């Protein structure tokens, strides 16, 4: 099953990028580069969805609007990632 989620990427002072997935409570990761951060976000989303599946819960829908708290960051980028969950073998 394919799911698409909005992710917020914020550059950190140390050069890394932190990523949050607002629709998935406490789903966050980081990467040393933007491509790595987005790849790590995909992995984090899949792990989150696997956890929900193990609990018998459906994946939540993406949010229609996202509020971004920049904190001390000068900017943030918003992306939409589509991931595909592997179906369990029956």
Q: Minimal CA–CA distance to 79: which of 14, 15, 50, 31?
A: 31
- Grouping H, G, I as helix, E, B as strand and the rest as coil, residue 79 is strand
Q: What is the pLDDT of residue 43?
A: 96
Using the predicted structure, report yes or no on whether residue 90 has a pLDDT greater than 70.
no
Give the burial class of 6: count Cβ atoms within 10 A of its Cβ; 0-12 exposed, 13-18 middle, 19 or more buried.
Answer: middle
Sheet strands (E) in 1-90:
2-11, 17-20, 28-31, 77-84
Q: What's the CATH fold of domain 2-84?
A: Double Stranded RNA Binding Domain (3.30.160)
- Number of residues in the chain: 90
Q: What is the pLDDT of residue 81?
A: 94
User: Does the pTM of the predicted model rise above 0.85?
Assistant: yes
Using the predicted structure, report yes or no on whether residue 88 has a pLDDT greater than 70.
no
Q: Please give the Cα distance from 48 to 68 (Å, whole number).
A: 21
pLDDT tens string 18-72: 999 999 999 999 999 999 999 999 999 999 999 999 999 999 999 999 888 887 8
Q: What is the pLDDT of residue 87?
A: 61
Q: What is the pLDDT of residue 89?
A: 54
- Grouping H, G, I as helix, E, B as strand and the rest as coil, residue 63 is coil
**Where do the structural domains in the chain lie, given as residue ranges?**
2-84
């Amino acid at each position: 099953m394919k799911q698409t989620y909005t992710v917020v990427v914020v550059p950190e002072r140390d050069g890394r990028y932190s990523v949050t997935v607002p629709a998935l409570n406490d789903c966050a990761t980081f990467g040393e580069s933007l491509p790595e951060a987005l790849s790590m976000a995909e992995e984090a989303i899949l792990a989150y969805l696997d956890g929900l599946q193990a609990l018998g819960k459906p994946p939540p829908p993406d949010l229609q609007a996202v509020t971004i708290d920049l904190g001390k960051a000068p900017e943030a980028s918003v992306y939409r990632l589509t991931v595909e969950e592997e179906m369990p073998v029956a």
